[in-house]
Amino acid sequence: MIVKDEEDTLEACLSPLCPIVDEIVIVDTGSTDCTKEVAARFGACIYDFEWIDDFAAARNYAFEQATKEYMMWLDADDVLGPEDCVKLLELKERTEFAYDSVTMSYQLTFDEAGKAVYSLRRNRLVRRACGFKWIGAVHEYLAVSGNIYHSDIAVKHNKRKEYSDRNLRIYINRRAKGELFTPRDQYYFANELYDHQRYYEAAVQYEKFLQDGLGWIEDRIAACHKLEECYRQLGETEKSLEALLRTLLIDAPRAELCCKLGAYFVEQERFDTAIYWYRQALLIGLPQNPMAVQETYTSTLLPHIQLCYCYDRLGDRVNAKIHHEAARMYNPDHPSVVYNERYFRELAQGQLLNMNDRQSVRPADEPSDS
């Protein structure tokens, strides 16, 4: 692990793992709080690394300090739950283990019930003898090859720190020095601009990234969705829709695309057309590629809530109720589901004699970026 000022999160990360792992390597990049003291309580081997605005350099240094056959990396605000710790221990105790890398689900966003709705996979556990290296000063990745096992272990991201402009500053400084960005750097630089609401600059960078078609397919699809939002924020409605449709030139339709098209037609009150796209989102489901982003919200709960809304607006309360019940199965605590449950209950009891009391069911918010 590489850490800096993580006294509030490090214990929650290390506590469940301490009985499982054989050594803990902590590389501190300049903490001024009690991070090192917390790490020491778990018997960690603690090293200092002078921060040089390069995450890959720090992570590679941490890997160099490891001595065991396999290395697993985490961030200080990552957590493994009890079930996943059991799975990790079972994985460790296998007598035959010929894998060079093990991927684990990285759960980033959760619903009201704590269920993961947005996740992706990371190469988490690697054979030290393979000498895999981290690449990229910012938003680094671990370049792996060989025999890879996709495990059912999940790592939960429990971010508490506020986002800073650190990464954006690193990119701007690198660009000022004349450094040529890789397609991956181009994409993540655009993301940093987007996260800081610098939408015009972000749009320019997304366009540069997309025009060459050299990036990872998942990054290209995500860039189209972020570009759509940039143009929407800038009031460029036509360009916004064009950016969204560009995903169809990259891969087969994804559920997120269908939901955004559905939202576009809901805004125009073209509910029949919106219904078509939300139904497509349900039919498409999640991507088959295990390394692709798995966003269950846009393939389950969201389209059901929106279909409930669209059918209700068309006066078809039978189908509206069907999709409400489906949404309730996924998340009974979602604000729209709670509202709509009351709506249908009052409707059944004849309490909505004056339809001005509640015009219709409540739609969900638009799909949010994670």
Model pLDDT for residues 246-297, shown as the tens digit of each residue: 999 999 999 999 999 999 999 999 999 999 999 999 999 888 888 888 889 9
Domain of residue 114 covers: 2-157
**Whether residue 359 sits in one domain with residue 273:** yes
Count of domains for the chain: 3
Q: Is residue 242 part of a domain?
A: yes
Q: What is the pLDDT of residue 348?
A: 84
My answer on whether 130 and 231 are in the same domain is no
Q: Domain check: are 227 and 143 in the same one?
A: no
The CATH number of the domain where 349 resides is what?
1.25.40.10
Q: Are residues 135 and 242 in the same domain?
A: no
CATH of the domain at 99: 3.90.550.10
Token pair for 211: 């025009």
What is the predicted pLDDT for the residue at 291?
Answer: 85
Residues 11 and 145 in one domain: yes
> What are 363's two structure tokens?
């739609």
Q: Are residues 143 and 186 in the same domain?
A: no
State whether 217 and 358 are in the same domain. Answer: no
CB of 110 closer than 8 Å to CB of 116: yes
Q: Which of 249, 254, 241 shows the shortest CA–CA distance to 293?
A: 254
Calpha distance 300→285 (Å, rounded): 8
118 and 66 in one domain?
yes
Quick one: 103 and 184 in the same domain?
Answer: no
308-317 in b/e form (b: 16+ CB < 10 A) is: bbbbbbeeeb
Instruction: Work out the average pLDDT over 152-174.
Output: 90
Name the residue with higher pLDDT: 220 or 161: 220
Q: Read off the pLDDT of residues 117-150 as tens digits, 9 standing for 90 and up.
A: 999 999 999 999 999 999 999 999 999 999 999 9
Antiparallel, parallel or unpaired: β 25-28 and 45-48: parallel
pLDDT greater than 80 at residue 351: no
Q: Which residue has the tokens 């605590």?
A: 333
Kindly report the average pLDDT of the chain as a whole number: 93
Q: Specify the amino acid at residue 282.
A: L
Q: Which residues pair with 142 in a beta bridge?
A: 134
**pLDDT at site 370:** 35
| Claim to verify: residue 127 and residue 245 sit in the same structural domain | no
Torsion-angle region of 358 (φ positive above 0: left; ψ -120 to 50: alpha; else: beta): beta
At what angle are helices 335-348 and 317-330 packed, to 10 degrees?
140
Instruction: Using the 3D structure, point to which of 97, 122, 157 is the last residue of a domain.
Output: 157
In this model, does residue 102 exceed pLDDT 60?
A: yes
173 and 284 together in one domain:
no
Percent of the chain with pLDDT strictly greater than 90: 85
Does residue 350 sit within a domain?
A: yes
Percent of the chain with pLDDT over 70: 96
Q: Is there a domain that residue 162 lies in?
A: no
Q: Per-residue pLDDT averaged across 68-90, rounded?
A: 97
Query: How many C-beta atoms surround the C-beta of residue 132 within 10 A?
Result: 20
Residue 218 to residues 43, 65, 215, 223, Cα–Cα distance (Å): 39, 33, 8, 9
Q: Averaged over 211-226, what is the pLDDT?
A: 94
Mean pLDDT over 86-112 rounds to 94
Residue 294, beta-bridge partner list: 119
| Residue at 231 is within a domain | yes
Please name the residue that has the structure tokens 């090293």. 47
- Rounded Cα–Cα distance for residues 337 and 314 (Å): 19
Domain C-terminal end among 157, 185, 214: 157
Query: Which band of pLDDT confidence, cut at 50, 70 and 90, is reported for residue 212?
Result: confident
Residue 322 lies in a domain: yes
Which residue from 310, 342, 337 is spatially nearest to 324, judged by alpha carbons?
337
In a domain, 148, yes or no: yes
Q: Model confidence at 366, in pLDDT bands (50, 70, 90)?
A: very low
Residue 319 lies in a domain: yes
Beta-carbon contacts of residue 214 (< 8 Å; ≥ 6 apart): 183
* Beta strands, E only, the chain: 2-3, 25-28, 45-48, 70-72, 78-79, 101-110, 116-127, 133-135, 141-143, 148-157, 294-295
Q: Indicate if 8 and 137 belong to the same structural domain.
A: yes
Task: Tell if the pTM clears 0.85, that is, is over it.
Answer: yes
Domain boundary among 206, 235, 251: 251
pLDDT at 307 over 90: yes
pLDDT at 359 (0 to 100)? 55
Alpha-carbon distance of 26 to 66, in angstroms, equals 10
